[in-house]
Amino acid sequence: MLEQLKKEVYEANMLLPRYNLVTFTWGNVSGIDRESGLFVIKPSGVDYDKLRPEDMVVVDLDGNRVEGEMNPSSDTATHVELYKAFSNIGGIVHTHSPWATSWAQAGRGIPCYGTTHADYMYGEIPCVRNLTREEIEEAYEKNTGVLIAEYFKDKDYVAMPAVLCKNHGPFTWGKNAHEAVHNAVVLENVAMMACRCEMVNPQVQPAPQELQDKHYLRKHGPNAYYGQK
Amino acid sequence: MLEQLKKEVYEANMLLPRYNLVTFTWGNVSGIDRESGLFVIKPSGVDYDKLRPEDMVVVDLDGNRVEGEMNPSSDTATHVELYKAFSNIGGIVHTHSPWATSWAQAGRGIPCYGTTHADYMYGEIPCVRNLTREEIEEAYEKNTGVLIAEYFKDKDYVAMPAVLCKNHGPFTWGKNAHEAVHNAVVLENVAMMACRCEMVNPQVQPAPQELQDKHYLRKHGPNAYYGQK
Amino acid sequence: MLEQLKKEVYEANMLLPRYNLVTFTWGNVSGIDRESGLFVIKPSGVDYDKLRPEDMVVVDLDGNRVEGEMNPSSDTATHVELYKAFSNIGGIVHTHSPWATSWAQAGRGIPCYGTTHADYMYGEIPCVRNLTREEIEEAYEKNTGVLIAEYFKDKDYVAMPAVLCKNHGPFTWGKNAHEAVHNAVVLENVAMMACRCEMVNPQVQPAPQELQDKHYLRKHGPNAYYGQK
Amino acid sequence: MLEQLKKEVYEANMLLPRYNLVTFTWGNVSGIDRESGLFVIKPSGVDYDKLRPEDMVVVDLDGNRVEGEMNPSSDTATHVELYKAFSNIGGIVHTHSPWATSWAQAGRGIPCYGTTHADYMYGEIPCVRNLTREEIEEAYEKNTGVLIAEYFKDKDYVAMPAVLCKNHGPFTWGKNAHEAVHNAVVLENVAMMACRCEMVNPQVQPAPQELQDKHYLRKHGPNAYYGQK
């Protein structure tokens, strides 16, 4: 069942330790098959060096396990909400990557200070508020997804494939699991350089809008000219 | 004698360099066999790349060497006090891991700024005071353990398996040597992100109590649902 | 065509990941054959672990591709302008290396705080202004090169083989592609230490001029005595 | 000639890249044979991955090359002065290791904030002043050594085996080349943690004197009890 997707999601998960985005089991990647409405996600709490493609868990968009012997990631309900709200995405990543998590803990969005950021993410990377006590008690993981979806309701989630959850950590997404991991790496780099940039110049301002536009559109949209075709 | 425990403690010691928690010989791990009241600890000042399972030293709870040709860790007397005071622990780690040690040198406990911290440690990680000149002269290593035990007298040392000793460094513990190392890795990550978090937002406040509760209890206690089973 | 140069430029490109100067495809190296007026450059957006010597693209000083099946780096027009303006250089590097990029994002030149800097670069490493909206819209990459060339019009580009572009990142150069990479590594180290130096002493002043002179001239010019002849 | 010493000094040099203390050729180690009054030092500007034991250069205490085909390190004259002034040392290291160099560039000595520091170095690690223009012009490398020797004239260079040269970088020493490298690693760690410690608590004070005494004397002197015998 979804063997190719399981392989892709497994490989995307294995990129997290390779890019130093996870310690222990602090992260998970999923990828969806839009036709069947099923997605594949890492099992909960399994070490990356013991993870195998066949351990991946298949889940439906109600959050029910459809195949697999292990429990899916404890963040599965968040993934469900994001897949339901963002119809054009095919993969989701959650990590506690250290620099992005430091910004999340600080409760600040990451201003766009340069072209590394603008090449992939359009504008400030948002930090969404804490859930209320009621939201936590009712359904913590689900409401995390609901809150993110609510924030992006009138925004372009393709042009901003990342969010920070206050006092928690980042989620990123993309057209598939691999691109979602790519965006998680970009986010970690951007978070690191934004912090150091503020150390070097505490009064720094975001990059000029025309520079952000140029770089984002150089890589995205009909007139993109970066890369090979 | 205690061959299985020696092997476990040896392996736990070897995780310290693997997780970049030690330079040279600046760390030690022990594990206890509660039935016999004996514990196994790294020999003092031996390089990690020369360490062998059979070098482990067996010590009783009076701090006497029971087996082994080498001197036990110079911090053995601290381990003794912690094993005597914390009856539910099976392993102890001491390191000079850089981020945790930086907080210890700064004389500050580490506030709980996010869920990475709350997943493992409940509340602020404490920093205990310096020993007095008298306490140092009388019995430095023993009194370090006495001070930690005194601090935790009316607190839950299972929910807070870590402490910073002012101007010195951290101790962590767990149900066995391996879990104590796991907690040492968590502590180092949490210390790093707390520092960077304060750089990004000098006015940052601890995470809301309900979020700390949610994450701690998601992983610990009768209603935990993280992981497999 | 230019097979030896292609090999050299390929090898210089492969040094970027080895020295941790690039993530993904965020960097490019070129080298020029002054006799033919042709230069060799990395293809655009190709992963470093898939890059082969035969993928290198040959370009003329009008920016036209002369050989190769792939698109040259999207920054090719910047390289063209630098080769035209700096007649004594043989290689150019662009990266988003994290520390240098943090200074570029902060919009600050890097003061010469010590001999590591002075050994290779004479004086403050400049940070050139943002392009205007008109310059961006007219020809972004070309005008980036024009701006750098304009800045160095009355300055010694051999004694200062590096520049930061505001809100973007660094360019470095040298007598060949390999030396340009060497200077990119120096720049990254210098940028890192300058930031940390300001953390340790926010009132720090540049190194005395006579010390800068001594170190620069110990390694460069007719009376240099560092190294083997 | 001095084959055993050459091998030791070669091996000590090769520890510099292994402990991430050098980039390119930015460092050198020497070791002395007190009987003959000759010392062995790295050749100038030779890459570490091409260095061989037979490349080591033998120099006398007037700074004359006695054996070897290559030029000795450009810092040889500094080593000469230190060997002449510090009769009990057997090895010297110079690096541009990043954290120690950041403190040197900042012009600050490193306060003793904790036991990692106190275990090896007794008190604040000093930062000596810049040479004057006259001292630089007369004999830069020699006068660097003269200045350090002058500073330690009435101090214990065994208890403080490290110094920072303002706007330049560190020198460390020890009873042989290997111990000098060990102290260079300690210095880099201590410099890193002191900077982070000040970030966490800008008002931090040095560790209490009695704690410094305890740790230094636990490892050094007649009553030391750390390690094996």
pLDDT band at C223 (very low <50, low <70, confident <90, very high): confident
User: Residue D130: its chain C contacts at CB < 8 A?
Assistant: 207-208, 211
Of the residues A120, A200, A204, A223, the best mutation for testing chain C's interface (the one with the most C CB atoms within 10 Å of its CB) is: A200
Per-residue model confidence (pLDDT) at position B221: 86
pLDDT band at C228 (very low <50, low <70, confident <90, very high): confident
pLDDT, tens digit (0-9, with 9 covering 90-100), for C122-137: 999 999 999 999 999 9
Q: Which amino acid is at B1?
A: M
Q: Which of D163, D151, D157 is nearest to D95 (CA)?
A: D163
Put simply, the chain D residues between 189 and 208 with a CB less than 8 A from any chain B CB are 189, 192-194, 196-201, 204, 207-208
Q: Predicted ipTM?
A: 0.96
With a cut of 80, say whether residue A229 has pLDDT above it. no
D84: Cα within 13 Å, side-chain hemisphere: 17
Region A218-224 average pLDDT: 89
User: Residue D15: its chain B contacts at CB < 8 A?
Assistant: none
Task: Show the CA angle centred on residue D25, arms to residues C209 and D27, nearest 5°.
Answer: 75
d(CA D190, CA D118): 10
CA B19 to each of CA A207, B43, B192, C86, D168: distance values in angstroms, whole numbers, following the listed order: 37, 20, 14, 47, 32
The minimal CB distance from A195 to the residues B200, B208, B226 is found for B200
Q: Which amino acid is at B82?
A: L
Q: Which residue has the tokens 């968590």?
A: B186
Q: Can you say whether residue A70 is alpha, beta or left, with left for phi > 0 and alpha for psi between -120 and 50 degrees?
A: beta
pLDDT, tens digit (0-9, with 9 covering 90-100), for A84-109: 999 999 999 999 999 999 999 999 99
C226 is catalytic: yes
pLDDT, tens digit (0-9, with 9 covering 90-100), for D148-162: 999 999 999 999 999
Region C72-77 average pLDDT: 97
pLDDT, tens digit (0-9, with 9 covering 90-100), for A115-128: 999 999 999 999 99
Q: Which residue has the tokens 């080498």?
A: B70
Per-residue model confidence (pLDDT) at position B91: 98
Per-residue model confidence (pLDDT) at position C221: 86
C-alpha torsion angle, residues B178, B184, B187, B189 (rounded to 10): -90
Q: How far is A190 from chain C, CA to nearest CA, in Å? A: 9
Domains of chain A as residue ranges with CATH:
3-219 (3.40.225.10)
Do the Cβ atoms of C200 and D102 come within 8 Å? yes
pLDDT band at A223 (very low <50, low <70, confident <90, very high): confident
Q: Which regions of chain D are under pLDDT 50?
A: none
d(CA A215, CA B208): 38
Using a CB–CB cutoff of 8 Å, tell me whether A46 touches chain B. yes
Q: Which amino acid is at D212?
A: Q
CA D97 to each of CA D17, D171, D193: distance values in angstroms, whole numbers, following the listed order: 10, 10, 14
Inter-chain CB pairs, B–D, below 8 Å: 87
Q: How far is D105 from chain C, CA to nearest CA, in Å? A: 6
Closest residue in chain C to residue A187, using alpha carbons only: C23
With a cut of 70, say whether residue C229 has pLDDT above it. no
Do the Cβ atoms of D99 and C196 come within 8 Å? yes
The minimal CB distance from D102 to the residues C193, C225, C227 is found for C193
d(CA B125, CA D148): 42
The minimal CB distance from C189 to the residues D23, D103, D136 is found for D23
Q: Which of C146, C184, C140 is nearest to C27 (CA)?
A: C184
Per-residue model confidence (pLDDT) at position B58: 98
Do the Cβ atoms of D208 and B106 come within 8 Å? no
Q: Exposure pattern of B77-110 as b/e (b: 16+ CB <10 Å)?
A: bbbbbbbebbeebbbbbbbbbbbbbbbbbbbbbb
D119 is catalytic: yes
The minimal CB distance from C197 to the residues D25, D102, D136 is found for D102
With a cut of 70, say whether residue C101 has pLDDT above it. yes
pLDDT band at B76 (very low <50, low <70, confident <90, very high): very high
pLDDT, tens digit (0-9, with 9 covering 90-100), for B97-140: 999 999 999 999 999 999 999 999 999 999 999 999 999 999 99
- Residue C39 neighbours by CB under 8 Å, 6+ apart: C30, C31, C32, C33, C58, C59, C60, C61, C79, C83
Do the Cβ atoms of C107 and A182 come within 8 Å? no
Instruction: Identify whether the C-beta of residue C1 lies closer than 8 Å to the C-beta of residue C67.
Output: yes
CA D139 to each of CA C217, D145, D169: distance values in angstroms, whole numbers, following the listed order: 14, 10, 18
With a cut of 90, say whether residue A207 has pLDDT above it. yes
Instruction: Identify whether the C-beta of residue D82 lies closer than 8 Å to the C-beta of residue D145.
Output: yes
Q: Among C62, C156, C213, C226, which one carries the catalytic annotation? A: C226
Instruction: Identify whether the C-beta of residue D59 lies closer than 8 Å to the C-beta of residue D66.
Output: yes
Burial of D185 (0-12, 13-18, 19+ CB in 10 A): buried
User: Residue B45: its chain D contacts at CB < 8 A?
Assistant: 226-228
pLDDT band at C186 (very low <50, low <70, confident <90, very high): very high
Do the Cβ atoms of D116 and B195 come within 8 Å? no
The minimal CB distance from A211 to the residues C71, C74, C130 is found for C130
User: Residue A105: its chain B contacts at CB < 8 A?
Assistant: 113-114, 193-194, 197, 204, 207
Region C65-89 average pLDDT: 97
Active site positions of A, annotated: 119, 226
Put simply, the chain A residues between 113 and 142 with a CB less than 8 A from any chain C CB are 113-116
- Residue C145 neighbours by CB under 8 Å, 6+ apart: C77, C78, C79, C80, C81, C82, C85
Task: Show the CA angle centred on residue B43, arms to residues B42 and B48, nearest 5°.
Answer: 70
Beta bridge partners of B187: none
Active site positions of B, annotated: 119, 226
